[in-house]
Structures are given as C-alpha cells and as structure tokens.
Amino acid sequence: MEVVNRYVATRHHIEGAPTEADFEVKEEMARWAPDSGEVLVRNLYLSIDPYQLNRMKRSSVTHLAVEGILPGQAASTLLSPSPSVKRITTYAAGEVVASACEEYKAGDKVAGVLGWEDYTLFKPSPAVVMSKVADDAAGFPLSHHINVLGTSGMTAYGGFFEVCKPVKGEKVFVSAASGSVGSLVGQFAKLAGCYVVGCAGTAAKVDLLKGKLGFDDAFNYKEEPDLKSALKRYFPDGIDIYFENVGGEMLEAALANMNPYGRVALSGVISEYTGGARRAVPDLLEVIYKRITIRGFFAYDFLSKFAEFNAVIGGWVRDGKVQVLEDVSDGLESVPSAFAALFRGQNVGKKLVKLA
C-alpha cells in the first residue's frame, strides 16, 4: 500500500537571504507498510531553524560536521551540506502510523529527526535521534517537544549553564533575545539570579522581553547606530556572559564590553548566514588581555543530558517560571514563508509549522 507524501524541496542552492521562490512542494508515492525494523511517522509539527540555510548553500562551512564531531545521524543528516537540490531533514514531532519495529506501535507520539514532509520512514538505531513522547509527559503540548523540551531547550540550557557557567549576580547579554533560543536563555539567566539585557529588532519585541519574559532591560538594535556605545550604556560595569545568536558587529560590540574572564557561548551567527553582514572581526588582543573564553557548541553535544535538562526545564514551565513562545504557521505549503520569516525577523519565539 502506498500513500501520497508531499515534501518541501529547495529548487536550487540558496545564496543570500532565502525567499519563498527558492522552494517548491513536491509529491511522491511513499510506502505505507514499513519494511522490517522500520517505522512510518505522520509529521505533525516541523521545526523551522536558521541553521538550515547553511545546508542549502553551494559551499558550506558545515563540511566540518563530520562523523566523530557529532553523533551519527545528527552529523550526517542534520548538518551536512546538501550535495544537490533535495528534501530537508529537520527536527519534528509526529505520530507513528505504521510500525514493523517492536519498540514502536501505531499511535505512539515521537520527536526527533524527521523531515519537511507529511510522512517520514525511519529505522531506529542508536545513531538515530528519536525519542518517544511519553503519554504522561505532564500534559505538555506536542509542539513543546521540538521547542522548549527539544533542541531549543537543549541549546539554551546547555549553552547557558554548561558553557557559560553562570554565577548569581553576573551580567548577561543575549542577542536575538525574543527568538526561540534567546527567549529561553534570558529567562534561564533570570532564574540563575543574573542581571539580563536582551536585544531584538522591533519595539514590540523589546516590550515583550521587559514585560512577559522578565528581562531587566532590552533594546532595539536596529535603532542603535553604534552597538558598542549602546552596550556600554546598558552595561556600565561590563558584560560577564554573552549568549551569541547573531554574529557580525554584535559580537564585536559585545567583546569590546566584556569583563575580564567573561564567557561567550557561540550558539549561532544568523546575521552571517545570508552573507548580508560582514563576518565578525573581533579584537583578539582584547580577548587575550581580558582572558575571555569563547566557546562554540551544538545542541547535540548535550544529548546524553537530555532527560536531565528536560526534568528541570519541564518543572519550570509547569510552575509558570518559564514562558514558552511558539509562532505557528499552518500547513506544509507555509514552510517556505515560515523559513524566510526567520531572516526577516518576523517570528516571535519558536517558529513551527503545524501539519494536519
């Protein structure tokens, strides 16, 4: 038996900011009956992530994502550059509709590496990033499992607590602070007793940070002609921790305002993905003299601590200590515009596409 499977494909390699015209929705007939050991998932929520753009370029720095740096599937399917025009793998959540594997049965909810498509077949193995969402998952919506209880939560929690090692009272700066990762980092930093300032690209986002999300302060970076002096104003006593989501000038400005022994968690550099902004040229003497630590990391570095992180984060969400922001578009056809929106600053919180 077969089923019509619609999937989103890139029309060509993408250079610059993505637009809707770079993608198309295609159809194929897919097997409904999995082969031995396989599981067929109907995807219900797709994650829309900035890093995907780096996989869609002709030449990509992600050639560094080779086996050994990341666990099997994460390296080979999530980060590797697309060799040609093709469908996109992504973190997603869905429901098992057919299974030829003892561990999974029809009706099970799962979250892990699936695809920008209606249905995905996967074969469980230790290298495959996939987890069952327990029925008793405290009543969290399925979407949370690819957001605060998925890669966004792992990135924010691991990047902030494991990489930055915050101490109560330290001063923290978060860029792209109203986004999926940034909005969580800022709230985690407040829970750790830090002073937190975030930046974002609209007045409404700034209000959200200072209001609902409880940041100590926030500013619109697009209205600041000189980011170095803006940060000097918001951090007269210097920055201890910078959670970096943006790159370019923002990284240079943050480094210029860091305190001795400051830590920078390099989560992402979205302004550099489109080639629109020049790459950061930090003053390395500043880094040396101030003994600043700059550390890059991947969410998947923390896979072994996934359950541990989620126990803490889930508790905070349940107790209302962490607000979860989800920006949901409807239908597979909306994937291209949802993806382009990330680079136009049009999302607030985690960008998701809901199918069915």
Ligand X SMILES: NC(=O)c1ccc[n+]([C@@H]2O[C@H](COP(=O)([O-])OP(=O)(O)OC[C@H]3O[C@@H](n4cnc5c(N)ncnc54)[C@H](OP(=O)(O)O)[C@@H]3O)[C@@H](O)[C@H]2O)c1
* CA 279 – CA 249 distance, rounded (Å): 8
259 close to 290: Cβ distance less than 8 angstroms: yes
**How crowded is residue 334: how many other Cβ atoms within 10 Å of its Cβ?**
19
198 close to 182: Cβ distance less than 8 angstroms: yes
Residue nearest to ligand X (CB): 179
Residue 173 interacts with ligand X (CB under 6 A): yes or no = no
For residue 175 the two structure tokens come to 């860029």
Residue 314 interacts with ligand X (CB under 6 A): yes or no = no
Q: Which of 181, 194, 230, 255 binds ligand X (CB under 6 A)?
A: 181
Task: State which residue, 245 or 310, has the beta carbon closest to ligand X.
Answer: 245
Give the nearest distance from C-beta 1 to ligand X in angstroms.
37
Give the nearest distance from C-beta 342 to ligand X in angstroms.
4
DSSP state, residue 297: -
Residue 298 interacts with ligand X (CB under 6 A): yes or no = yes
Q: Which of 180, 257, 310, 334 binds ligand X (CB under 6 A)?
A: 180
Task: State which residue, 26 or 295, has the beta carbon closest to ligand X.
Answer: 295
Residue 49 interacts with ligand X (CB under 6 A): yes or no = yes
Give the nearest distance from C-beta 236 to ligand X in angstroms.
23
Q: Which of 94, 112, 153, 182 binds ligand X (CB under 6 A)?
A: 182
Q: Residue 124: exposed, middle, or buried by beta-carbon count in 10 A (0-12, 13-18, 19+)?
A: middle
* Residue owning tokens 């978060």: 174
Strands 109-115, 130-133: pairing is antiparallel
Residue 117 interacts with ligand X (CB under 6 A): yes or no = no
**Site mask, ligand X, residues 119-138, x = CB under 6 A?**
--------------------
Distances (CA, A) of 117 to 4, 7, 323, 340, 356: 11, 4, 29, 17, 11
Residue 245 interacts with ligand X (CB under 6 A): yes or no = yes
Half-sphere exposure of 316 (CA within 13 A, CB side): 20
Residue 230 interacts with ligand X (CB under 6 A): yes or no = no
* CA 244 – CA 251 distance, rounded (Å): 7
Residue 277 interacts with ligand X (CB under 6 A): yes or no = yes
Give the interface with ligand X as residue ranges (CB under 6 A).
49-51, 151, 155, 176, 178-182, 200-202, 205, 245-246, 267-271, 277, 297-299, 342-343, 345, 347, 351
